[in-house]
Structure 1
């Protein structure tokens, strides 16, 4: 949510308190902002991008309704219409990539450029600077551990477009009694300092149920587990960076850089913008004496799992990642015909996550003709490979508990297998399985592969990575040598 700062030194809450303390004065309403910046609906913005790309019709995406005429496929026999995925260790000129130097100097930049141009968009060369300040500090407990929580806000310089303000909301929670520097996991999501919508309050009050209508104690939260292990926890609020809809593309950080104008086809989408915000948060964290700057990780689930993977792939300072149930646009290959498809992301509901150019690969009619996923020069296994040799943990749940088949857990496992050779090349270790990606089959539920720098574990819960957090912590610490 976008909001204006009333002062550089005081929070909005303190401003209200000061106002209420002088009842004799009646505050005047703020003058309406006269802005010539375009305000577009999601549908209008989506239509404009199709116009820029000369696309006259997109293929409809599969339906999650199994009774629909275009129901998504869940038959493995029909799942691999494009079995040959883009090579990871072959450069664009056709030569093999056989050394670490070849990867870092030639192949990795080629893959990054392809993702920027065709999938996620590129961060502009000149993005305004972010100034961070601590707005509030309070003591609390996480589980049984005393902690210190801080609300830290990053204000983006908006002098080039004063009509748009961006304030990145981030919280930092550290054990109160710490000695030395601690590892930190940055998690995409609303901070405890952000206003809570009513629907979320009702959900939080509901608690857990034992199946007989009796409320039970909640299990330890991921934050509690991380704090108990001596870690720090950061929450960063994606909507404070960029709204999660197409109508918001002329606002937020994307709109600010574009001075309120509509995107061009290779401009960044929300996933890349959220990743950019996480990187700016990392800039701040490296200035804190309590934090081990070499042990800062990134986490997210679902759309934020996609964002976490993109952030880690593009910013090599993130030392580890917990990528939860990310689906297409995350760890799931575009070339799989199983559940979610590129056409699903190209629809007006989710297209804002991606660069405009991504729509071309769902075009049914356009000036370039029909195109599909096999025309993309890259796929998810290469995105995972961009994280090598850093610690990358891919997490999924099971459909029976709500981690829907739509996400294609099997396809994500195949992508992890296909990415493994890059980890091996970089003196790390991939999954270490004998199968190749075309024949790879997921291990049993709750039987993780946690021996290398690339890890896989499917837990027996739903659309969350919470059951895997303790496994993630233990796996990281083994590699840390703590």
Structure 2
């Protein structure tokens, strides 16, 4: 009933003669649980032909490939299979940091035949990995404000990429300034990560594709256009797909390093980059631990709940994030052949962690929890426990076995509390982190 009402309102507003600015009604999010869950959620173990998936072999051979194809063609867009040349340039020597606790290394990926796109990778390694010659587990993550924002270290390259203007982050005329250094370090507790025995690698997401709608004329998309093509086809990748591709290129580099344990790569993302981390993890099984932090709609949250941000809101506010085919589900979530719990299920049997925040109803914390909960039947095929609880836990009470979840007190953000829970979960699944 509510869906029909929304459609009616939208149609009426579009048909009445009004000034152009008034033709499109303002988006009003639903925050009422009584109005959520009115669309049936597809069973993750029912194949498109109606058959039931009852074994891990059938999951791997039938259901998993068809779900990957559905997410690729209907949501994020297909990632090109073609390869482009990438040249790796190491910038300077490793720099000791934090009174000898770790080292910092910078690398540039020159992507394309002429190095048309450059992506800077900033890697922090525990000092012990060199002293003991022991490869370490690594968190792989994109950042929002450039590598120079994650630390005040003056030797970190100041990005020359496009940035959204932001007074707080000191980005002016779409460029970073020296005052931008360290403005995002609250999201990167580098010392705590190194103390736990983990490495962390990060890159600015805008290096792979700037986060604005320019009809895909910059970033990595044009490197893959066929002759005469000027934008992705309706079923080809948008920006989230490009950011996920970038995460995999970071993995390409990291697994060549003797200091990195290539069997223990965790892909992590916050907000829109949480969506990208999930899509990267679904496509690239070298990420043996996948982490979604406040990823919301188009990430871990169920689309069919119609709670907080919706498919239609995503497509209207950020038309470049998803493939064009995703537009057919705006105000039409009932037509989606799957929901986001199926994306979580694609990680099985690898561990996955989902995090929400009490002050982030826009991202639908309960829908994020349910995204993990409804993926449990797939993990059960591998005889693996899921969340271990039936109901969403109270704030600051992490739960989970192979699927982890917590609802943190606070706002839409990634905090040291979140990082501690991810490292705890990594300890659990990767034995203990090396000290």
Q: Which residue in 1 is equivalent to 2:70?
A: 114
How far apart, CA to CA, are the structure 1 residues paired with 2:182 and 2:372?
Answer: 38
Q: Which residue in 2 is equivalent to 1:155?
A: 110
Match for 1:387 among 328, 338, 347?
347
- 1:323-371 superposed Cα distances (whole Å, 9 cap, x missing partner): 1100101011111121100011111x31211011111112xxxxxxxx7
How far apart, CA to CA, are the structure 2 residues paired with 1:71 and 1:463?
Answer: 19
SS of equivalent residue, structure 1 residue 308: helix
How far apart, CA to CA, are the structure 2 residues paired with 1:174 and 1:429?
Answer: 32
Match for 1:344 among 308, 313, 323?
313
In structure 2, relative to structure 1, the CA distance for the partners of 1:220 and 1:352 (3 Å cut) is closer
Q: Which residue in 2 is equivalent to 1:291?
A: 260
How far apart, CA to CA, are the structure 2 residues paired with 1:462 and 1:431?
Answer: 23
How far apart, CA to CA, are the structure 2 residues paired with 1:379 and 1:124?
Answer: 23
Q: Which residue in 2 is equivalent to 1:373?
A: 333
SS of equivalent residue, structure 1 residue 152: strand
My pick for the range that moved more, 164-173 or 384-393, is 164-173
Shift of 1:205: 7.7
Q: Which residue in 2 is equivalent to 1:366?
A: none
Match for 1:475 among 425, 428, 431?
425
In structure 2, relative to structure 1, the CA distance for the partners of 1:69 and 1:168 (3 Å cut) is closer
Q: Which residue in 1 is equivalent to 2:136?
A: 182
Contact 2:101-2:195 at 8 Å conserved across structures: no
In structure 2, relative to structure 1, the CA distance for the partners of 1:219 and 1:275 (3 Å cut) is closer
My pick for the range that moved more, 248-257 or 296-305, is 248-257
Structure having the higher Rg? 1
- How well do the aligned residues superpose, as a CA RMSD in angstroms? 2.5
In structure 2, relative to structure 1, the CA distance for the partners of 1:227 and 1:318 (3 Å cut) is same
Shift of 1:303: 0.7
Q: Which residue in 2 is equivalent to 1:141?
A: 97
- 1:278-331 superposed Cα distances (whole Å, 9 cap, x missing partner): 111101111111110000111111111111111111111101122110010101
- 1:147-168 superposed Cα distances (whole Å, 9 cap, x missing partner): 2211111112236xxxx81112
How far apart, CA to CA, are the structure 1 residues paired with 2:12 and 2:79?
Answer: 26
How far apart, CA to CA, are the structure 1 residues paired with 2:41 and 2:73?
Answer: 19
How far apart, CA to CA, are the structure 1 residues paired with 2:12 and 2:53?
Answer: 36
Shift of 1:206: 8.4
In structure 2, relative to structure 1, the CA distance for the partners of 1:220 and 1:380 (3 Å cut) is closer
Within-5 A mapping of 1:66-215: 70-82=27-39, 84-142=40-98, 145-158=100-113, 165-178=116-129, 179=132, 180-189=134-143, 190-192=146-148, 193-195=156-158, 199-201=168-170
Give the total of aligned pairs: 384
Contact 1:389-1:427 at 8 Å conserved across structures: no
Contact 1:121-1:268 at 8 Å conserved across structures: yes
SS of equivalent residue, structure 2 residue 214: helix
How far apart, CA to CA, are the structure 2 residues paired with 1:158 and 1:324?
Answer: 35
How far apart, CA to CA, are the structure 2 residues paired with 1:59 and 1:382?
Answer: 34
How far apart, CA to CA, are the structure 1 residues paired with 2:246 and 2:26?
Answer: 40
In structure 2, relative to structure 1, the CA distance for the partners of 1:57 and 1:234 (3 Å cut) is farther
In structure 2, relative to structure 1, the CA distance for the partners of 1:116 and 1:442 (3 Å cut) is same
Structure 1, unaligned stretches of length 5 or more? 1-55, 61-67, 208-217, 363-370, 436-440
Shift of 1:70: 4.5
Q: Normalization by structure 1: what TM-score?
A: 0.75
- 1:441-472 superposed Cα distances (whole Å, 9 cap, x missing partner): 4210011113x110001112322232121121
